[in-house]
Amino acid sequence: MDVGITQAPAVATGVFRGADLMELYIFIISRWAKNERLEAIQQPLEFVVPLLDLHVNRFQATAAKYYHGFLTDRGPFGEASGFQSFWKPLRDAIEQANIAFDAFKQYYDSFHANSAVDVQMSNKLRTLSEKFDAIMRKTTRMEQHMRDELQLQVGYFSLQESKESIKQSKLSMEESKRVKMRTWPDP
């Protein structure tokens, strides 16, 4: 069930600035049918579902931005500059989204358990929850890919550093042999 977010103008353009969220929310609520508004007056938590949907969509756009940046922003040696710029902010966004969505679901479950209107709200919330879970699974896979690539890069750079250290050690040993041969003549 779409709560109206895909009809909003800023969604089509991918624009999600803080000020736009209120305009989007008002746009969505204004497009509700009269019976939806009456139900929301009876069950005020229904007013929160579109706001949560906006935040779920905003989270999805943020995750895609960080993942795309990670894949395209390469340093001078081909390495991703990803830890501070992309992976950590994505990891933080995942944690914050999980905390916020879980807190709402927990509040809803504890506060509204047994009314006929709650069943309808539960369907909207369930649909939104399924959408959030699907986005979270995809985002977690993206985060895992980023983490795996960063670990591969750390291993690669450690190997390069070890090779350089071995080279330096060999040069040092050869130099030491030359010095020894010059200072200690054969009898």
Domain range annotation of the chain: 5-178
pLDDT of residue 13: 45
- What pLDDT score was predicted for residue 169? 86
31 phi, psi to nearest 5 deg: -90, 0
Provide the CA 106 distance to its chain's centre, in angstroms.
22
State how far the Cα of 135 lies from the Cα of 52, in Å rounded to an integer: 13
| pLDDT value, residue 23 | 84
d(CA 150, CA 79): 9
Phi, then psi, of 127 in degrees rounded to 5: -60, -45
Amino acid present at 88: K
- What are the residue ranges in the chain where pLDDT is below 70? 1-19, 74-84, 111-122, 180-187
C-alpha distances in Å from residue 96, one per residue of 90, 91, 92, 101, 128 = 10, 9, 6, 9, 17
pLDDT at 12: 43
Nearest C-alpha neighbor of 50 from the set 23, 20, 29: 29
- Looking at residue 3, its pLDDT comes to 46
